[in-house]
Amino acid sequence: MNLSCRTLAVLTLRPIRLFAVALLAAVTLAGAAHGKLSVFDSPHNLSASGGRGRSSGEPGVVFTEEQQVCVFCHVPHHAKSGTPLWSRDLMPADKEFQLYNESSSLNASPLPDKPTGASRLCLACHDGTIALNKYTGSPITADRTMPTDPRREFNTNLTTDLRDDHPISFLYTDALAQKSGLVSPGLLPGQVMLEGGVNLECTACHDPHDNQYGKFLVINNGDPGKPNYVPGSPLCTACHAPAGWSTSAHNNTSVPLLSKQCLSCHMVHNAPGPIRLLNYAKMEDNCLASCHNASSAATSTNMEPLFGLAMHRHPVEVHSADPELDHDAREDLPAANYHVQCVDCHNPHQVNDGNAPLSNPPLINGRLSGVIKDTAGNYATTEFEICFKCHSGLAAEKFYGVTEVKPDRMIPDPNQLRRFDSDNPSYHPVTANRRTAGASLKATLQPTMVRIYCTDCHNSDQSSKALGNGNGPNGPHGSQYPHILIARYEMPFVSATRDPYSSSLYSLCFRCHLEDYVMNSGSAFKTGVDNWHGLHVRDRQIPCFACHDPHGTSKDRGATPTNNAHLINFDKGYASGSLVATPQYVALADGTGGSCTVNCHSNAGNTRQYGSGLGRRLLNLQPPANPGFRGFPVKTR
């Protein structure tokens, strides 16, 4: 039988040179020398002369009853119809497989529902259901199926559940490449071959006759012990080209933890985290257990301690029954399902150093590059847009201080987008510039702090931003203080025994604001010589949060300039009660004074007036022996 090269090329699913070598090798003796393309020294040699070439270094499967090499897959006569001289039974057409087609990260259309083409041939052995010795003319009577290895990286028995394996049997088109961050099919390297020029099958990555790179890969995927070594995972990046990857901080093979590039996070087969084929079953472990821990080269990337159970933190360890609900890059935003994962706030393919770019509020820095902010898939350009992915919208209540004790506000609103609205009576300047001259700010901040980040307040207390030096990780990962605050901010219950006043109790406020201005010399909240911030907070131990809502007061929930200027939004536990069910603050239009009617004022009508034109006697202050505020015990030193 004289087969031309063209005929063989049609018959085979890999280049003719590979199949021809394997087929002609069948007429040689097993002991002869073989070139790098030979199947003889590979795990696919199941004959008596085989058992070599496994990536684990251990012996492979051997059938001593069979001397021929190629017969386990090929036969020169009576081959299965429509196959490259195939000697094995193919899977029935109605055989059920579960393919990787349930994740939104696969944009293929149509989605694959069963293996096709060359993948069917591979799975005739690798699904573990057909004995390896079941081939045409087999003299072997004792059945042996594909062995299973508990080590995921060496397990070749893929079973019929392929959801934890790289997707196969789908159309690799230009349209798919554009949607999915893939290389255009016309630009793929010659080693990566699509079946029929369009279908991606097992043979795009594997050449069953050539094991020179291990695991029958068509390109050395970062193995320094194999030929043509290039650091990283060049086989992966032959197809995958996610936006921003070329300049990402994660694309740095000189860092030991990143030397495997894509394989530092992803596993192509037998992945414990089948959604996105992650190396760990839990998304947070893919970051914290692999790299961002004490093994990190820099303290600035050691995140693991910040997510300890003793910390006030984003609860990345909380998971839903459906992994897709934990995070989906294409989920509708603002988020509806309660979850938080590292990848909700960071894009691992685009993340960069914090100074690349180094930005000012409200713009993102390099750590937040490429984070999707909305259902349309647009990237966030400001930090607050990333926070609002969860902390706004109809489901914001699900994400509102879930593990924390929250104030009971007169005007409650978990939707932070509304609370920071620049049309509100008052707000901290996160989404818009401040309105005033900033007289209460420290002198160095008055000309520059017209906007702030969410992370100026919500951040690790050990971060470089908190300490002003060092290199602790910045960001709202975890803190020793409630609500993931960067510094101490007392929020005691009404009945709690509290510490005597110290500026350290409100270190959060005094990071930006002058204590002397707030407590003594400044502010219109005074009468004559008396500064009522000082009288309330310092002398009576009334916490700031009892009167002030630091995010803002929502006009959409009823806040008005008269009643809710200066971030006034009373906590009911302090301000309301049997005497005053509905506390009220009234500000004068010119900003020089006003009045408060609250349950904790002991004078007639429970109303106190303040303003620079009022004398002390009008305030009906009680002497120290009878301070006038009910039920606020104070610790003695």
Neighbours of 202 (CB within 10 A): 25
**According to the model, what pLDDT value does residue 340 have?**
93
Q: Which two tokens stand for residue 219?
A: 């390109």
Who's near 637: CB < 8 A, 6+ residues apart? 500
Q: Which two tokens stand for residue 600?
A: 């904790």
Q: Which two tokens stand for residue 14?
A: 């890999």
Q: Which two tokens stand for residue 260?
A: 């495997």
Who's near 46: CB < 8 A, 6+ residues apart? 60, 61, 62, 63, 66, 69, 72, 132
**What are the φ/ψ torsions at residue 526 (nearest 5 degrees)?**
-160, 165
Q: Where are the domains of the chain?
A: 1-279, 503-619
**According to the model, what pLDDT value does residue 631 have?**
40
**According to the model, what pLDDT value does residue 175 have?**
95
SS3 481: strand
CB 484 within 8 A of CB 474: no
**What's the predicted TM-score (pTM) here?**
0.88
Helix (H) or strand (E) holding 237: helix 234-239
CB 121 within 8 A of CB 133: no
**According to the model, what pLDDT value does residue 5 have?**
33
pLDDT above 90: residue 625 = no
Q: Which two tokens stand for residue 470?
A: 């060092």
**What are the φ/ψ torsions at residue 539 (nearest 5 degrees)?**
-90, -35
**What are the φ/ψ torsions at residue 407 (nearest 5 degrees)?**
-60, 155
Give percent of the chain above pLDDT 70: 89
Q: Which residues pair with 170 in a beta bridge?
A: 200
**According to the model, what pLDDT value does residue 324 have?**
67
- Say which range, 73-82, 314-323, 625-634, has the weakest mean pLDDT: 625-634
**According to the model, what pLDDT value does residue 38 have?**
80
pLDDT mean across residues, the chain: 88
Who's near 208: CB < 8 A, 6+ residues apart? 14, 39, 44, 73, 122, 216
Neighbours of 609 (CB within 10 A): 16
Band of pLDDT at residue 297, cut at 50, 70 and 90: low
Q: Which whole number is the average pLDDT over 204-209?
A: 97
Number of helical H runs and strand E runs in the chain:
14, 11
CB 341 within 8 A of CB 329: no
- 92 versus 244: the higher-pLDDT residue is 244
The Cα 515–Cα 506 span in angstroms is: 9
**According to the model, what pLDDT value does residue 617 have?**
38
Band of pLDDT at residue 612, cut at 50, 70 and 90: low
Task: Reduce the secondary structure of 286-325 to three states and give it as a string.
Answer: HHHCCCCCCCCCCHHHCCHHHHCCCCEECCCCCCCCCHHH
Per residue in 18-27, pLDDT (tens digit) is: 443 344 444 3
- Burial of 7 per CB tally in 10 Å (0-12, 13-18, 19+): exposed
**According to the model, what pLDDT value does residue 31 have?**
38
Q: Which two tokens stand for residue 405?
A: 């004790």
